[in-house]
Structure 1
Amino acid sequence: MKTLKSLIFVFSCITFLTACQQNETKESTEFKVDFEKFTLDNGLQVILHVDKSDPVVAVALTAHVGSAREKEGRTGFAHLFEHLLFLESENLGKGGLDQMSARIGGSGANGSTSRDRTNYFQTVPKDALEKMIWAEADKLGFFINTVTEPVLAKEKQVVKNEKRQRVDNQPYGHNSYVINTNLYPEGHPYSWEVIGSLEDLQNATLNDVKEFYNRWYVPNNVTLTIAGDLDVAQTKKWVKKYFDEIPRGEDIPEIEKQPVILKSSKRLFYEDNFARLPRLSMTWPGVPQYHEDSYALSVLIEYLSKGKKAPLNKILIDQEKLTDNVGFYQYNSEIAGQIMLSVTAFNQTDLNVVANAINDGFKDFELNGISETDLNKIKAGQETDFYNGLSSVLGKGFQLAQYEIFAGDPAFINQDVKNILAVTPEDVMNVYNKYIKDKNYVATSFVPKGQIDLVLDNSILANVVEEKIVQGAEETFDTSVAASYEKTPSSFDRSMEPPYGESPELNIPEVWKENLDSGIKVFGIENYEVPLVQFELQIEGGLLLENKEKIGVSNLLANMLTKGTKNKTPEELENAIQSLGASINAYATDTNIIISGNTLSKHFDATMALVNEILLEPRWDENEFELLKASTKSSIKRRKGNPNSIASNEFAKLLYGGNNILANSNSGTEESVELISMIDLQDYYNKNLTPQLVLMHVVGAISKSQVMASLHTLNSQWESKQVDIPELPLPLIPETSQVYFYDMPGAKQSVIRFGYPSLKATDKDFYASTVMNYRLGGGGFASQLTQQLREGKGYTYGIRSRFSGSNYTGEFSISSGVRTNVTYESASLVKQILEDYGKNYKDEDLEVTKGYTIKSTARAFETLGAKLNMLTNISNYGLQDDYAKQRESLVKNMTVDDVKSLIEKYIKPNQMIYLIVGDAATQLDRLEALGFGKPILLNLEN
């Protein structure tokens, strides 16, 4: 991926008849995504889908090329190329789509690479559609001349930083590499990782780039998908205008299926620098995407590992208490697939015991199989998942492109329907026997340093190459040097950016509100685009109401709420939720306990009846409580090896100090969780859960009257009592900056968290400050931090700054992961950017900020999740229903002087906490040069 967020899109969501066997309704309807497909003379496949529910369009360009088309020795090249294609093209100029995205109010140009395809996408206001078509055509046909040696050198650093962040600096990060190099034979296109190796990335040449582009980035290997509020006839004209003259490339041969046959099982182990718990992974050869057996395999995997009844869970979690989670999934790709089982065991657990328990779970399934009822519950969940996947125009566009490229036709959705509905219990048992029972597999044991005694018997040491930290090892470059080239000829002047279309109206959803006698405040939005409802019941309190001696009570309580009710065992409650195709989750935050749900609208009443039961009639199951405590302690233990988790926890301690309860993680510590009893949970429940502290948010295909009727039981039976939230001590801004260091020996990146206490979300300057921050670090590739640390220096994969706050507190923070050997240089550059931000802020900065902030409001309320967030803002912070329009007016009237005043008031580089989590042996002493004294080492025991 190109940006900080790791976006995961589920391409394999399947639709099917809503009147499946498990539904009691007699209705039978088929959900369809209408589309129009056409092909240009040069081979470009174009798919259009009209959805006028919001004034936005999603544009996705998908090339049928991924890591499987690479050459050995140039691994990671498809992914590197994904990055390069964003940087510049002949007519877009430097900054490419990223720069344009900021001006037009886009969601941010992004991309992703898999084994078999690379895509580029974003959602924009509908008035920018022609601009996006022009830009995507420029990338496809007018790009390669702009790539220079310095540009390639810099982007290599960015991609290597991404690999360090995602792989080298993470617990179990090398597990996938070990599995794939041993599952697939040498030379198989899936035997190397999509992200590649650091050595191969470094060896990529400019000629490699040009060869790759000319071979694969041709119209006859690309699909363009446009979905949203569009005029089909006009869109076709634009597509033909901008794409038609891009020449067709050489024919692209179909890649042959290359299934894997393991001649024997393999067992490998590795001592992981970041792991704190042992993990066993078992991988079997599977099937390619859309293979006839993939449907029964998806049912098998879910049945074996999801829920209280799952055979693997019954043995490993409930009976043997070896782990708190069993991960089981398919990784199906174009030419082959794999079936992957992963168990992160509790502390000091022998992985041989885990393997034996897995075998016992399999035997349980062999004996009992799967019932028709359980099969239909799984199908019900798939139906809801499908609708969730279609809640955005981008999701619809992705799904259409997926079928086009890998099934040959977007209409393959109809065959998918038949395939999933045709799965029988016998099919599920057959694929188990065919792919798992007594079949060879690859087993990997990843254990903490010094715990080799826990690995699977007869395992051999895996071959993993760890990067050495060498100061000054990376090459330097100057990306400011302009490329010199002769422009690619065109039949018209492509340097002229197309004009905006008709400006979309800001479409603010209508909000309804109701105050119930018990004190519950209800906020809702009706939306009938898809037959779904999302809701969130928020109970104020969370960590704020806990005893400092037993931190973790609210977190345990929230999780206990869904572990059965007075009249339903945990398994019976789970079955009741699953049979509706619904989800109900409960969790705690620093300030709330939240019960959230997602359900088909026809099952809303039944889902809410279960929520009533969960809240009013908790089960207090002692066995579940002990399992939950073990799971929580295991999670806390795992996070001790994750540099990002460590940074978050340590930053909170430094920010709030010892007297503020928010200095603690709401999960608690291993020690505090061990002290918590069931009585502690019951006391918290009885004293602190009251309808007077409840905000209920509901969005979707449901009327106000239906919502109110569903809340009758809660309103009439839930005891209302007064609960006072304690006042928090005010965290103080440091008088002078101080550097703190948490040692992670051998870390391949330094995780940075810089910041200080700042504005609450309710402060009059809060929103204005987020606008001020856009060009500093809130605007992605439009921000100075990204432009200088990533694009200018190649120090990081991504960096951001932000103001975040609640009713109780607020903070300003800067976060990133930077290459270890430029830790000081990165911190120094951040400090310099902060010091210069106010004096260098210009009219151009404000113009870009206004362009993005005002135009992006067209996307503000597209999905159900976005509408739910709108209700949260209104209910928690006292905002007006039309707050988006009020904010739009505020931004339009902002001046450069206004922004500079905010910078002077709220950006304080010399009164900040500078926290680094990294390798102290090589980096700690260098940070003294920042000028804030000797860094304080936080974990002296290391």
Structure 2
Amino acid sequence: MSYRRSAALLALAAALAAPPALAQTATQPASAAPAPAAAAPALIPTDSYTLPNGLRVVMNVDKSDPVVAVALVAHVGSGREVPGRTGFAHLFEHLFFLNSENLGPGGLDKLSARVGGEGANGYTNLDQTVYLQTVPSDALEKMLWAEADKLGFFINTVTPAVVAKEIEVVKNEKRQRNDNVPYGQVLPIAQAALFPPDHPYSWTTIGSLADLSAATIDDVRAFYRRWYVPNNVSLVISGDFDPAQVRVWVDRYFGEIARGQATDVPQPRLAMLPATKRLTHVDNFAPLPQLSVFWPTSAEGTPDTATSELMFAALTEAPDGPIYRAIVEEQKLSESIDGFVFDNQMAGMAIIIARGFDGVPLDKLSAAIDAGIARFKREGISAERLERIKATREAGLYQQIGSVSGKVQMIAESETLSRRPDMVDGYLARLRATTPADIMAALDRYIAGRPRLEIGSVPKGQEKLALTGASTAVVEAEEAIVQGAEAAVDQTADRAEVPRTPSRIDRSVEPPFGPPPVVATPAIWNGTLANGMGVSGIEDRELPVVAFQIAIDGGQLRDDPAKPGAASLVADMLMRGTRDRTREEFLNALKALGASLSIDVDQERTVITGTTLARNFDATAALVREMLTRPRWDPAELELARAAATAGIQASRAEPEELAELVARRVIYGRGALANDVRGTPASVAALTMDDLKRFMADTYSPRASRIRVTGAVTQGQVTAAFAPLAAAWTTTTAPKPLGSISFAAPARTQVYFYDVPGAKQSAILFARPGVARNAPDFFPGYASNFILGGGGFASRLTQELREGKGYTYSAGSRFDGDSTGGRVQLSAPVRANVTLESATLMRDIMRDYGATYTDADLALTRESLAKARARSFETPAAKLGLLARIGDDGLPADYVARENAALAALDKPTVQRIARTYLDTDKMIVVVVGDAATQAGRLEALGYGKPVMVPPLK
């Protein structure tokens, strides 16, 4: 799969349910590249073997941190299903977490919480189902015991009530990802149009509601016995462990599980598209017209897959991809385009998504894509440009293997494709060997002049923007909002004694912890540049990369409330070229270094984040200096930036959960700077002038209110030398303005605010109250107290009661957030529309009763889990930058980790109960609901807080 995962494609990628940022397959490009040199060390060194029952075991030893990732890889995705039984692979993934004979109810979720894991996780895609756990190294034997219990001692615990409840959870997931979001139907439409009905890629991984509703316990058992057998599974382990000891454990826990029916590796069966096909879908949730274009490509593992990815990147990536230039730069039809290649086991798809500006006919976007393809065929690609694209992918590859979780996911994909673990090395070698001639040959094979599928998504009432000659897309019927349509599921109705599967060992005894991991806070160095700007860092030689941030006090808080959005617009303009380089030249200079750069604006500050290959750190720092001290301020770029901001605001307002957050901001902050989307409003963006932006930067960006932090394969001396030119050029002496505050007052009484989204199949519910700053005495006790409430994933009451107990939602949680000037306590959940009142009532009651019902067992689980989780605290470059940020930005002491460890050890029930009384007062809360007012607003009066206030449409 492609490395590129941009925001506009999140819904599409989620629907395919691929893991985040998987490694591209290591496949040979068209020009028969040589195999990796024998002397080259493997990027992920592995040792693999096969048990007599067929289970493949792959081990990668990585002792850089005291953590281990374990992946149980079942070589079964939706591509193994048959019509009428779609969605089973994904449904089974859900069921697999819930119980087993010896783990008991809660299964891996409860175990992961107890041992300090990051939370049991898993994903299903077209080709595989992966169960992924990352835990401290002392819990490895426990995880192997647990995974074996799932594989061989699971199915007896699955009851009709469990299946019925989990079907409701999966339906909620489908509503959340497909039915209740803009453009959520694009992928289901595309798969049905590209593949014949009997092809297993013709349906989505999540399946159809009808098939899910028809699923029986016998269907589930048959699926388990066919596919969840050792000879169709790989066990992948990466991290800090002793391989000899692991072999003993694997044989002990997995060796006696019986081999199943033989399974094969699916063979390619490509999409067939004899002629170009155009479809139209009127999207009730879409704020803007969108064109999605699909081309059939090769299956994963064939010679063209690596070449196709590079070719498609060359076509679409900013700043000089010819399709990007045609749509964004020349015709100004959209603020960006997105594209990638899905290289699946049986067939591939190349995809472009262009979301037009308001009122743009989709025919114009289609014609612009044609113009870009024609230009690329005419002009070709230079060797220099191809090397830039390769450099970005090499850097991305190194980032992915920066964690043991990333490594096991890469190996998992390789195992599913070929039952080999080492494809990543071949991929890198062949990536480097691909030539411009290979790229142009792939263009002719798959794109230029080839049939394609075009799907036009148009907002309701704007059908005039649809593609000319398009047929109406067929979309699976959505369930109507009917009160009481779903019967209540009683999870206690059939909890009879589970039959025990015979075993040669006593599996009811959980293995002990291993030796306690030694968790050392990374050594931090500190310094000061010549202009007074602080700089800190952590040297880390695990990978040849460097990650860095520049934090500038002054984000949304510095916006003029009468004209919000300046902070965000300035950040965008900084990425649009310098006095010495156009935007295209600037971005290409970054790419040539294998560097990436982004600027994010939050409430309190603007943060420039970058990564680069270590060998190019000095050159990357020079580009950052150029960007900060010599911005281009191009009027033409400002127009593009305004259009991008407006489109982003409109898109956010179509997402129910983002709408709930925005409504909460309006209620909390009134007319203040924080009352808006960080990008402002469409009116304010249009009103902001170049002088406004220059004034904002002059008044806000100051080295005296900025900090640099760096982690990676670079010394303090190298960092200081690299940023010395920035210190010499950036000498602003203006005293920065006071930062302001994000704190707010609790309401005198709880009030419900309702924002109407007619026809919504889900309701987004949000409860909010004031919290405290990150450095306040109550913050860490509050953070720890929240673990059982909603911060502990499946260990939390919100998840256990709303999802596992009732099947009302796919996800629910709570946060105890704090920044340097204030904080917020928040609970949220997207729920099935016809249980809006029931869900809000349950959330309220969980909060109201939290202190009184908090037990000694809850306290013990919180202490154990959070203490052991420290082993995972500093594994990745992002985690290390976070450590430096909490010290530099939030004002925590350098030894805050040790202090919080002590506070956790001292945490007691009276403290948790005090936190609950103070911060979970359900009589003084803001409640926001985004959903279908006609069916749900009136019902919420029964919550006891009066008639909901109807929030007018946002301007």
Deviating more after overlay: 556-565 vs 513-522: 513-522
- 2:6 matched to which residue of 1? none
CA 1:741–1:3: 2 relative to 1, 3 Å:
same
Deviation at 1:15, TM superposition (A): 8.4
Indicate yes or no: 2:442 matched with 1:435: no
Find the residue that maps to 2:335 and give its secondary structure. coil
- 1:367 matched to which residue of 2? 378
Find the residue that maps to 2:461 and give its secondary structure. coil
Find the residue that maps to 1:711 and give its secondary structure. helix
d(CA) in 2 for partners of 1:384, 1:798: 33
The counterpart of 1:714, out of the listed 721, 726, 729, is 726
- Give the partner amino acid of 1:413: V
Q: Answer whether contact 1:171 1:272 (CA < 8 A) is retained.
A: yes
CA 1:663–1:451: 2 relative to 1, 3 Å:
same
d(CA) in 2 for partners of 1:714, 1:650: 40
Find the residue that maps to 1:325 and give its secondary structure. strand
- 1:639 matched to which residue of 2? 652
- Cα RMSD (Å): 1.9
The counterpart of 2:529, out of the listed 502, 516, 525, is 516
The counterpart of 2:480, out of the listed 465, 468, 481, is 468
Find the residue that maps to 1:71 and give its secondary structure. coil
CA 1:728–1:99: 2 relative to 1, 3 Å:
closer
d(CA) in 2 for partners of 1:319, 1:413: 38
- Give the partner amino acid of 2:97: F
Find the residue that maps to 2:320 and give its secondary structure. coil
d(CA) in 2 for partners of 1:340, 1:697: 37
Deviation at 1:3, TM superposition (A): 12
Deviation at 1:314, TM superposition (A): 1.4
Task: Render the CA deviation track for 1:799-843: whole Å, top value 9, x for unaligned.
Answer: 111111211221110011000000000001111111111111111
d(CA) in 2 for partners of 1:686, 1:322: 32
d(CA) in 2 for partners of 1:44, 1:407: 14
- 1:201 matched to which residue of 2? 212
Deviation at 1:937, TM superposition (A): 0.6
CA 1:883–1:730: 2 relative to 1, 3 Å:
closer
The counterpart of 1:749, out of the listed 747, 762, 781, is 762
d(CA) in 2 for partners of 1:29, 1:197: 47
Task: Render the CA deviation track for 1:370-418: whole Å, top value 9, x for unaligned.
Answer: 1111111111111101110110011112212222221332233343234
- 1:847 matched to which residue of 2? 860
- 1:409 matched to which residue of 2? 420
d(CA) in 2 for partners of 1:877, 1:596: 17
Deviating more after overlay: 594-603 vs 463-472: 463-472
Indicate yes or no: 2:255 matched with 1:244: yes
Q: Answer whether contact 2:389 2:591 (CA < 8 A) is retained.
A: yes
The counterpart of 1:330, out of the listed 341, 365, 380, is 341
CA 1:42–1:562: 2 relative to 1, 3 Å:
same
CA 1:135–1:642: 2 relative to 1, 3 Å:
same
Deviation at 1:454, TM superposition (A): 0.7
- Give the partner amino acid of 1:753: L
Identical counterparts, % of pairs? 43
Task: Render the CA deviation track for 1:256-302: whole Å, top value 9, x for unaligned.
Answer: 22112212221110110100111111111111112211122111111
Q: Answer whether contact 1:555 1:666 (CA < 8 A) is retained.
A: yes
Indicate yes or no: 2:259 matched with 1:215: no
- 2:33 matched to which residue of 1? none
Deviating more after overlay: 172-181 vs 477-486: 477-486
Task: Render the CA deviation track for 1:756-789: whole Å, top value 9, x for unaligned.
Answer: 1221212111011010111111111111111111
Deviation at 1:881, TM superposition (A): 2.8
Find the residue that maps to 2:790 and give its secondary structure. coil
Deviating more after overlay: 29-38 vs 86-95: 29-38
Find the residue that maps to 1:130 and give its secondary structure. helix
Q: Answer whether contact 2:646 2:682 (CA < 8 A) is retained.
A: yes
Task: Render the CA deviation track for 1:502-549: whole Å, top value 9, x for unaligned.
Answer: 011221100111133423111110110111110000110111222112
d(CA) in 1 for partners of 2:856, 2:138: 24
TM-score (norm 2): 0.95
Q: Answer whether contact 2:289 2:465 (CA < 8 A) is retained.
A: yes
Indicate yes or no: 2:681 matched with 1:669: yes
Q: Answer whether contact 1:148 1:483 (CA < 8 A) is retained.
A: no
Deviating more after overlay: 785-794 vs 470-479: 470-479
Task: Render the CA deviation track for 1:576-598: whole Å, top value 9, x for unaligned.
Answer: 11110111112322211221110
Written as runs of structure 1 = structure 2, the 5 A alignment for 1:373-412 is 373-412=384-423
Indicate yes or no: 2:456 matched with 1:423: no
- 1:297 matched to which residue of 2? 308
Deviation at 1:8, TM superposition (A): 3.7
Q: Answer whether contact 1:3 1:798 (CA < 8 A) is retained.
A: no
Task: Render the CA deviation track for 1:296-324: whole Å, top value 9, x for unaligned.
Answer: 21111111111221111111111100011
CA 1:564–1:30: 2 relative to 1, 3 Å:
farther
- 1:22 matched to which residue of 2? none
Q: Which runs of 5+ in 1 are unaligned?
A: 18-27
d(CA) in 2 for partners of 1:723, 1:415: 51
Q: Answer whether contact 1:544 1:725 (CA < 8 A) is retained.
A: no
Q: Answer whether contact 1:292 1:419 (CA < 8 A) is retained.
A: no
- 1:691 matched to which residue of 2? 703
d(CA) in 1 for partners of 2:121, 2:546: 29
d(CA) in 1 for partners of 2:141, 2:675: 49
Indicate yes or no: 2:75 matched with 1:52: no
Indicate yes or no: 2:799 matched with 1:786: yes
- 2:198 matched to which residue of 1? 187
- Give the partner amino acid of 1:171: P
- 1:169 matched to which residue of 2? 180
d(CA) in 2 for partners of 1:903, 1:644: 25
- Give the partner amino acid of 1:200: D
- Give the partner amino acid of 1:750: S
Find the residue that maps to 1:326 and give its secondary structure. strand
d(CA) in 1 for partners of 2:895, 2:348: 49
Q: Answer whether contact 1:15 1:386 (CA < 8 A) is retained.
A: no
d(CA) in 2 for partners of 1:873, 1:599: 23
- 2:871 matched to which residue of 1? 858
Q: Answer whether contact 1:15 1:31 (CA < 8 A) is retained.
A: no
The counterpart of 2:189, out of the listed 165, 173, 178, is 178
Deviating more after overlay: 224-233 vs 415-424: 415-424
Q: Answer whether contact 1:62 1:222 (CA < 8 A) is retained.
A: yes
- 2:491 matched to which residue of 1? 479
Q: Which runs of 5+ in 2 are unaligned?
A: 1-10, 29-38
Aligned residues: 931
- Give the partner amino acid of 2:489: F
d(CA) in 2 for partners of 1:277, 1:682: 31
The counterpart of 2:266, out of the listed 255, 258, 276, is 255
CA 1:466–1:325: 2 relative to 1, 3 Å:
same
d(CA) in 2 for partners of 1:414, 1:717: 42
- Give the partner amino acid of 1:508: T
Q: Answer whether contact 2:742 2:821 (CA < 8 A) is retained.
A: no
- 1:586 matched to which residue of 2? 599
CA 1:564–1:125: 2 relative to 1, 3 Å:
same
- 1:264 matched to which residue of 2? 275
Indicate yes or no: 2:887 matched with 1:874: yes
Find the residue that maps to 1:230 and give its secondary structure. coil
CA 1:535–1:7: 2 relative to 1, 3 Å:
farther
CA 1:385–1:14: 2 relative to 1, 3 Å:
farther
Deviation at 1:31, TM superposition (A): 5.1
d(CA) in 2 for partners of 1:803, 1:595: 25
Deviation at 1:90, TM superposition (A): 0.1
